[in-house]
Structure formats: C-alpha cells, structure tokens
Amino acid sequence: MSQEDHAVPNPTSPLDEYVPDPAPATAKCSLIVDSPCELPLSFCKKHGVFVMPYTYTMNDEVVQDDMYASITPKEFYDAMRKGATPHTAYADPMTLERVYTQALDAGLPVVYLCFSSGLSNGYEAAAMAAERLKAERGGDTPLYVVDLKEESTPQYLACWEAVRQRDRGLTAEEMVQWAEEAHYYIYTMFMCDDLDALARGGRIPQGVAFVGTKLNVKPLLSIDLDGKLTLAGVARGRKKGIQRLADYYREHHDRRTPLAAVGNADCPRDLEHLKNLLREAAGFDIPFLESSIGPTIGCHVGPGMISCCFWGPDRRDNDMKTIPDRIAMEVTSDDSRYATTE
C-alpha cells in the first residue's frame, strides 16, 4: 500500500479544472485533501474542499486518481482482475504549487491534510513544495502541511471530521493541532483478498502469497502510531475475516461515537454483510461513512479489500485531555449536512 517514491507529471484530468464551492462563512481556514482520501468528489466540491491529485500508471498510460470521476470502481478493479498491474505516484511539484496557490487565493489560511509519511514520500515532497512557495510569497504565508499518518478509509474518516471541525470555526493553527492528534483516536482494521497484489508491493514475500492463497489465509492489517502498516492477525477464509473486523469494532469503539467508516474494493455484498455485523455489535442501527477504495490504494491491495475504522480511546493509552476532546464526539446520524451520498 506504499506509494512509488517518485512523482510524475500529471495528465489532463477533471481535477485539473476542479474548483470547489466557497467554504461556509464560519470557516477560518481552507482545507486540501489528497485524492486517495476516498471522500466523494461531489462532497469536496459542495463543502469547499480543495483536492491534491495523485496519479497511477495503468497499461503504460499515466492516469490521474480523480476520485472515480472518469472511471468506476468496477472498471478499475476488473482491469486488475484481468492482469493489469498498476503503480502509483504522489503529486509532482507543479501540481503541488498549483493547488497550494488555488487554495491560498481563496483568501483563508490553508491546511493540507496529507497522506501518511509512513507509506509514501508524498508528505516530504508536499512539505518541501510548501517551503519553496513560502520563500517566494513571503515567510508568513499561512500554509500548513500536516502528516495525517493515515491513508484510505481512516484518512476518509479524519478528513470528513476535519470538514465539520472547520465549519465549527477552528483556526488554521487549531486545525493543525486537531489533525496531528486525530490519528491517535482512529482505530483501523482491513482485510486484503489479493495476496499477489500485496506481494508485488513488497508487503509480503511472493512465497508467502502463494502459500497463503492455497490455504485461503486472509491477512488483517492495521496502521500503527507512526502511520505504517502492521499485521493485526490472519483469518482462515473471508467470512471469518469479516467477522474479525466487526469484533474489532465491538471491542474498541467509543460508545459515544458509534460512527463507522467502511470501505470496499469492488466487493459491495461483503460490505453490506460487514455493516450488518457492525449493527449487531453496536446493538442498534449505527451511522456509516461508505467509500470505494480508490485507485491509489487499490493498486497495492487489489480487488476484494474491505476495511473498517472508527473513533476510540487514545491509542497511546493515557488520559490526555487536549484538543482531541473535540474530535468527533458529537457525530450523530442526523447530521445530514455532511452526508457523503447524494
């Protein structure tokens, strides 16, 4: 699930002409998110969120990860099922500068919520590009780059909540503090079905992928405190793996915040099964954020990945009471302004 450690020029894409709607009057900062964050593009536009596009190469063609604006999840994963082996790249310097400038020109301080440095060099490239732009425009340019230490579905959960916190009036400095703390309260587990894709990405040895496939072993992965992938366990068979995701939610979720973010790589039936198990675990019909695993992540996990993440106690296992007290504790199912489906 790591990114290729180089950037390539971005091709023409819908995101090249993307302009979000204005942020609400309560906003004191503008937000930039990565295209792999899994927020729907329609949600980003409606809520005034700028987007930093990543790219992937499929069949020797460089394609922009445009949040499924020009391809469907089924089309993307069917190509992988037929043998395509795409690889990815983070935003190149020209794209970084273009999106930074677009966001700054909106007139508010800018906070870029960046893909985990534990899985990509994108954060380092983004921070360097920000420093160059500050040097050109003046050292006091209000541009902040935050290492979210998250990716895919948990990045979705963090960015979705960040939009809500922005609309409640967090300043750029408060947003940076909020975003740096949020990671410690997000619990994540996901299951991959395509062991060959994990092997191609260097996550597991090819021999392990071969044996694991023969034995129907499904790896269960998580994200550690440094934003890196870690093995959380294994399951014999997909059905047992999905049950493990629900058990993880039952054991760790904050009961004041039952919201669960669930993602899938073109396996919608399994997603519905997981949602039913999560409802059983909570004891009532909990609110969901649903996403399709985007191409940037999909390149590395292949079709069949399914994920679950949610808010829980501080993973550093202490009683700190700082700005995370504001993190998602008032999320309710009736907050329709932030629905991610039309």
Task: Kindly write down the DSSP assignment for every residue of 292-332, as one continuous string.
Answer: EPPHHHHHHH-TT-EEEEEE-S-TT-S---SGGGGSSTT--
Give the end of a domain, one of 183, 213, 248. 183
Instruction: Tell me how many domains the chain contains.
Output: 2
Residue scoring higher pLDDT (324 or 251): 251
Domain assignment of residue 92, yes or no? yes
User: Do 32 and 109 reside in the same domain of the chain?
Assistant: yes
Q: Which two tokens stand for residue 302?
A: 């292949």
Q: How confident is the model over 9-21, as a mean pLDDT?
A: 75
Q: What is the CATH number of the domain that holds 258?
A: 3.30.1180.10
Cα–Cα distance measured from residue 249 to residue 260, given in angstroms and rounded to the nearest whole number: 8
Residue 207: predicted pLDDT: 64
Q: Which residues contact 317 (CB under 8 A, 6 or more apart)?
A: none
Residue where a domain terminates, one of 157, 183, 209: 183
* 235 and 118 in a common domain: no
Domain span holding position 96: 14-183
- Specify the pLDDT at position 7: 46
Summarize pLDDT for 281-328 with one digit per residue, the tens.
999 999 999 999 999 999 888 999 999 999 999 998 744 443 334 443
Helix (H, G, I), strand (E, B) or coil at 128: helix
Judged against a pLDDT cut of 70, whether residue 142 lies above it is answered with yes
Q: Select from 231, 305, 232 the least CA-distant residue to 262.
A: 305
Length of the chain: 342
**Is residue 169 domain-shared with residue 207, that is, in the same domain?**
no
Query: Among the three residues 183, 205, 228, which one is the final residue of a domain in this structure?
Result: 183
Do 61 and 120 lie in one domain? The reply is yes
pLDDT at position 13 is 73
Verify that 141 and 256 share a domain, yes or no: no
**Strand 54-58 and strand 61-65: pairing?**
antiparallel
CA–CA gap between residue 50 and residue 82 (Å, rounded): 34
What strands lie across the sheet with 87-89, from one edge to the other? Answer: 61-65, 54-58, 87-89
105 within domain boundaries: yes
Residues in contact with 214: Cβ distance below 8 Å, sequence separation at least 6, in sequence order: none
Asked if pLDDT for residue 59 goes beyond 50, the answer is: yes
**CA 37 to CA 67: how far, in whole Å?**
9
30-34 and 110-114 as β-strands: parallel, antiparallel, unpaired? Answer: parallel
**Both structure tokens of 293:** 């695993």
User: Average pLDDT of the chain?
Assistant: 86
The enclosing domain of 46 has a CATH number of: 3.40.50.10170
Do 97 and 210 share a domain, yes or no? Answer: no
Residue 143, pLDDT above cutoff 60 = yes
Is pLDDT above 90 for 195?
Answer: no
Together in a domain, 31 and 176 = yes
147-156 pLDDT, tens per residue? Answer: 999 999 999 9
Q: In terms of domains, do 20 and 148 share one?
A: yes
Residue 51, in any domain of the structure: yes
> Is 31 part of a structural domain of the chain?
yes
Going along 53-206, which residue ranges are E strands? 54-58, 61-65, 87-89, 110-114, 143-147, 186-191
Average pLDDT, integer, range 131-141: 92
One domain for residues 69 and 216: no
Query: Does residue 105 sit in the same domain as residue 254?
Result: no
The answer on 318 and 202 residing in a single domain is: yes
Shared domain for 309 and 273, answered yes or no, is yes
